[in-house]
A and B are shown apart, each in its own frame.
Chain A
Amino acid sequence: MAKTKVLLSGNEAIAQGAIQAGCTFYAGYPITPQNELIAYMAKYLPASGAVKGQAARVFIQAESELAAINMVYGASAAGARAMTSSSSPGISLKQEGISYLAGSQLPAVIVNIMRGGPGLGNIAPAQSDYFQATRGGGHGDYHVIVLAPASAQEAYDLTQSGFDLADKYRTPVMILGDGVLGQMMEPVKLSSRKIKTPPVKSWALCGCAGRKPNIAKSFFLREGALEEFNLKLQKNYQIIQQKEQRFEGLFLSDAKVILVAYGTMARIAKSAISQLRNAGKQVGLIRPISLWPFPERAFQIKNNRVKYLVLELSYGQMLQDVRLAVNGRQQVEFLGRSGGGILSQEQIIDKVKKIL
């Protein structure tokens, strides 16, 4: 049975998801813990099935992270479904390019498999790039859509959604995972659908014979031009905030304490919840899947005696978004570890018992 399932690491699942989504250009530079992703793309992307309307599927190991993100800029401007991936320190290096992508309204998928920081940090799993991911990351008034898978299957699925969202809103999309998600292998059900044809991009720079040239730029010197452009971006962000909030809710109807966690942290929270539920404790879960837009809708819970417990592999980053969403209506508690420490089921249970 289960013939269509394959055992893939989160890194490989993201890569396979990108191939299935019709990614035609990947550039990256190695870094642990996302190396399986770049290795998988090197092996499989160029040889995978053709994408309609695209000449080839191209893999490049770039000479640096900066080169990779700027190659993605060029490929995206030319109409490719373009992608890069890295881990925390490498993502910091890419921020200039991400800001330029946002400023030029170019779609791209950027994967960050987070490791410990700040600085070169270590290679252990962490979630401490939440601020960087959800606040834009580079300079200027912009956001990227941030999707946070919690399993290899979801990594495969969300990467495909990521390409669609990037094209739909002409914005960079980030897939944000951590070292556990990247390294862990799980069964993944692969799609048997044909690779779809990417949407026609009338704005792409792909030869302008017979039409007006298109321009990809993020430079607006004429008086008033940048403000006009920024307002256009903001309008786009408002639509994204209205339409693209995603979350998973568990036991929200009767929960007295609601755990809030994403990615790997949410899996550990689920283990804690099942143990607490067995002991008769009314505990629930909100798992944000889109980190930007943050799923504020999930927090419209009327009972003001409900308490939230935010769990992170960082020190109170998503906590700020939860507080903004709750807006003082209910109590918000926090528990977090970072720098390689993984919050255990037992630590969560102890904290919940204190709050209940």
Chain B
Amino acid sequence: MPKPVLLWTDVLIYCLLVSSVLALFSALKKEHLRLPLRQVTGCPTAMAALVVLFFYLLVGLSDSFHFRLKLDERPGQQIQYAPEVLSLLDIFVGPLRTRVETTYSAPLAIEAYTKETVEDKTGRRSRVYPRLLYGGSHLKDPNLRLSDIYGKAVKGSAFGLVVVTFLATIGVFLLSRVHKTVWRITAGRVLRGQCHAAWRTTFITAGVLIIIFFALAPLATHYHLLGTDKVGQDVLYLSLKAVRTGLVIATLTTLIMLPFAVLLGISAGYFKGRIDDLIQYLYTTLSAVPGVLLIAAAVLMLQIYMDIHADDFSSIAQRADIRLFFLCVILGSTGWIGLCRLLRGETLKITELEYVQAARALGVSQWKIITRHVLPNVTHIILISAVLDCSGLVLSEAVLSYVGVGVDPSMISWGNMINSARLEMAHEPIIWWSLLAAFMMMFGLVLSANIFADGVRDALDPHLQRG
């Protein structure tokens, strides 16, 4: 039995997951919330984005179950555990983690990226591109590389197609059970895109993703799909591991930031007068302090704390994790100013509107006015700015890593990848794959989050509701 390790951020992720599932179920019970939800499922772009997000979530979640493996038992000894903290993801992608080259290699390469001096049996020295330890090591003849790659990709996609067909059949079968119709009719409806929910788009997006997965999987295990970095680690592995860091920074920080921004912004706009003065004073002061300085101070303080209480943080992973968590807290408690200001302005406008006055005339309590009349009319601002902030946060993590106060250097994150790419870009010949990988992964996450948030916002707007 491996020994589970509970990290701070893990706990928070579980809480977030459970509470969002509960919230979704309670929303399904209320009619005025069910309608927008139905509309989200009917919006093809939002559903496609949701599928992509789901893949990210899957990676991030499987990377959030941590444990330490048992070491080989020796008789008469206490059970020993490996010092390394692993996650489910590490197990899933197994070979990616362990197949470490000596240094840089290009994507899908079988030889190193730079020449090295090699001494052969006769003692003659020559400068050649040495073969990689793992990348394409199954190939005897280097000339077969391309055909092998194509062969594996085609075989993989064919297999993927079979899997997709199988899954789609199961999907349609389940749908027909839910709709209580013959599966033929359901299949026809899905194919023609006549369902209320955008099942066609969902199936196609998921299908494409699954086929890509199966096409790339054999390549990833036999080669380094996205190359390797300076110390020979597989870049694909790094980008997958970085998903969790990105998700944690984006969601936890937003979660910490939102209560500040919403509560303070709306109360400033609603109550006006002294309360408004106070809140404005607070955020003006806070925004006058350079953010990086504040974060650097907090992180250094944490560092000292950890050094003093070294016993509480037994493993590297725990130290890195607490630093990530603290970073989220500090980013969250300084990042609410922009949204707060926006909400204050919008609330000022809304409280002057006549429906708020009418509610006051009816004797509705302040709290109810805020939650029923003001909050629903500013949700679009909250949604959009929260999602846009997410991408900004992932980026600011990169910037902070550059300054040296970001996530722990041992933690794999897009920020650290981009940060190391700084030197790689200056390398001759240029090493582009780390940056590209980080960029593609971030791009996919931010874009799909944006599109999905757009769909949700449209669904919440009664003006755009269809029948």
A and B are partners in one complex rather than unrelated chains: no
